[in-house]
Amino acid sequence: MERKLIKAGLYGFIFGLFIAILYYPDTKIVHEGSGMISAQTVPIRDLVFDILRASVRTSIAFVIAYAVFSFYRNLKQERFDLRRSIADFLKAFVIGLLVLAAVYFLIGVIIR
């Protein structure tokens, strides 16, 4: 299982790298006043960090998706109850949102 999670993370990173290279532009179009338009090149450092950031996000998403997929694949069919699993997922989602909101609130209070 662990080896497959590492593979999913590596494949997700490579996939994210390819997609980010294709997606992120190396120039920015800036609309200035009175209809003037200028193109500015993005510094290579910013471009590389944007591409790496996107590929790491994709890698994390692949690992989470594979973990969820393998968890549900390994459940026995006679024990699987769709209503209960959906209710459990919704409970976990709401609890996660509440924890995330509390963390953002505490960070906002600490920063001020």
In this structure, the answer to whether residues 99 and 59 fall within a common structural domain is no
Query: Which of these, 28, 24, 32, 48, lies nearest to 40 by C-alpha position?
Result: 28
What range defines the domain where residue 28 resides? 1-74
Provide the sign of the torsion angle of the four alpha carbons 87, 88, 92, 98, taken in this order.
positive
State the Rg of the chain over Cα. 21
Q: Are residues 20 and 66 in the same domain?
A: yes
Which residues of the chain form beta strands (DSSP E)? 27-31, 37-41
Total domains present in the chain: 2
Q: Are residues 11 and 54 in the same domain?
A: yes
Q: pTM score > 0.85 for this model?
A: no
- Residue-level pLDDT at 58: 86
Asked if residue 68 and residue 32 are part of one domain, the reply reads yes
Are 17 and 67 in a shared domain? yes
Task: Report the relative pairing of strands 27-31 and 37-41 from DSSP bridges.
Answer: antiparallel
pLDDT class of 96 with cuts at 50, 70, 90: confident
At 12-68, the pLDDT tens digits run: 889 889 988 888 888 888 888 788 888 888 888 988 988 888 888 888 888 888 888
64 plus 112 within the same structural domain: no
Rounded Cα distance between 39 and 85, Å, is 51
Please, are residues 15 and 3 in contact by the beta-carbon 8 Å criterion? no
pLDDT at 75: 67
| Strand, coil or helix: 42 | coil
pLDDT, mean of residues 74-94: 75
